[in-house]
């Protein structure tokens, strides 16, 4: 990894932590903050490589574990941080129906894992909804999140990437 790539990764890690910390300071939706923070992983991929995006994910997860509330950092670690990397590999297939199916399968696996982790180890209830209703509601919310993340990546590519 080159020095420039390491520097960009360090800056993106710092930005990720700052964005996640804003959840404590501003009355903004947690999902919105997590979506914005998760957009920095694809930025690391665009500006550097898969190695730099994994570095940003791992370093922000470790640093965040020490300074952020457990519920926020666990959501980032379990889904929002890693999804940008998974999205990259799934979208390399370049066949929309297969991509959507794979993304939904990944999301459902992570949703089950998150419910297990939050209920078993953290003792934080994710939602008061019954499990079946949570799965019904979560699917379209996930697809909206995926679309929003794609829009953020496109915005970055169109407006920001060329200027830096």
The confidence band for 124, taking pLDDT boundaries of 50, 70 and 90, is low
Percent of the chain whose predicted confidence (pLDDT) is above 70: 97
Q: Looking at the 3D structure of the chain, how many domains does it have?
A: 1
Structure tokens at 88: 């990259």
Structure tokens at 91: 């979208």
- pLDDT per position as a tens digit, 13-63: 999 999 999 988 887 888 889 999 999 999 999 999 999 999 999 999 999
pLDDT, residue 126, reads: 66
Which residues are within 8 A (CB) of 6 and not within 5 positions of it... i.e. 6 or more apart?
52, 55
Identify the CA nearest to 154 among candidates 39, 47, 54.
39
Whole-number mean pLDDT of the chain? 91
pLDDT, residue 161, reads: 83
pLDDT, residue 20, reads: 94
What domain range is 21 assigned to? 3-163
Dist CA 42 CA 52 (whole Å) = 10
pTM higher than 0.75, yes or no? yes
Better pLDDT: 164 or 56 = 56
pLDDT, residue 34, reads: 92
- pLDDT per position as a tens digit, 125-142: 667 778 889 899 999 999
């Amino acid at each position: 990894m080159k020095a420039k790539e390491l520097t960009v990764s360090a800056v993106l890690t710092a930005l990720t932590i700052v964005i996640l910390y804003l959840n404590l300071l501003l009355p903004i939706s947690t999902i919105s903050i997590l979506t914005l923070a998760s957009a920095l992983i694809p930025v690391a991929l665009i500006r550097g490589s898969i190695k730099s995006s994994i570095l940003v994910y791992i370093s922000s997860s470790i640093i965040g574990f020490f300074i952020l509330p457990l519920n926020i950092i666990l959501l980032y670690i379990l889904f929002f941080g890693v999804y940008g990397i998974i999205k990259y590999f799934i979208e390399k297939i370049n066949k929309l129906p297969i991509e959507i199916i794979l993304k939904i399968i990944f999301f459902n696996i992570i949703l089950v894992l998150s419910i297990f982790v939050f209920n078993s180890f953290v003792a934080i209830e994710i939602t008061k909804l019954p499990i079946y209703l949570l799965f019904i509601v979560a699917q379209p919310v996930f697809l909206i999140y995926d679309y929003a993340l794609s829009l953020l990546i496109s915005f970055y590519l169109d407006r920001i990437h060329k200027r830096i």
